[in-house]
Amino acid sequence: MKFMLMICGDENLPGSDIPVEPWVEEMTARGIRLQGNRLRPSVDAATVRVRDSGAVVTDGPFAETKEQMGGFDLIECADLAEAIEVASKHPVARVGAIEVRPFWDD
């Protein structure tokens, strides 16, 4: 099964730039991590909504919250239990949160 790990944390806290290379190397070597990347800060984001009058574009993230999505990883695991185990090893899980979400089956 494929899962999206949404890496979330507070961009304004010290330590938000935690080195994740050892985790990336381990999960890639295990054949679990398929791809991933960091995202630019939420101040560089735009949110688009289409309403009756057309597109409404708002600067910034989609929700008012302290934690923002700072990156993602696409992984492939046998089941949700394994995906949770993989997410629990991610360094950002110690200071932020990792949302683990399965993809719909093809």
User: What is the pLDDT, as a whole number, of residue 89?
Assistant: 96
User: What is the pLDDT, as a whole number, of residue 18?
Assistant: 81
pLDDT band at 84 (very low <50, low <70, confident <90, very high): very high
Instruction: Provide mean pLDDT across the span 6-12.
Output: 85
pLDDT band at 16 (very low <50, low <70, confident <90, very high): low
Instruction: Provide mean pLDDT across the span 65-84.
Output: 90
CB distance 97 to 36 below 8 Å: no
Does residue 100 have a pLDDT over 70? yes
pTM of the full predicted structure? 0.84
User: What is the pLDDT, as a whole number, of residue 36?
Assistant: 96
Domains of the chain: residue spans and CATH: 2-102 (3.30.70.1060)
CA distances from 36 to 23, 75, 89 (A): 12, 9, 15
> Is beta strand 33-38 parallel, antiparallel or unpaired with respect to 46-51?
unpaired
pLDDT band at 62 (very low <50, low <70, confident <90, very high): low
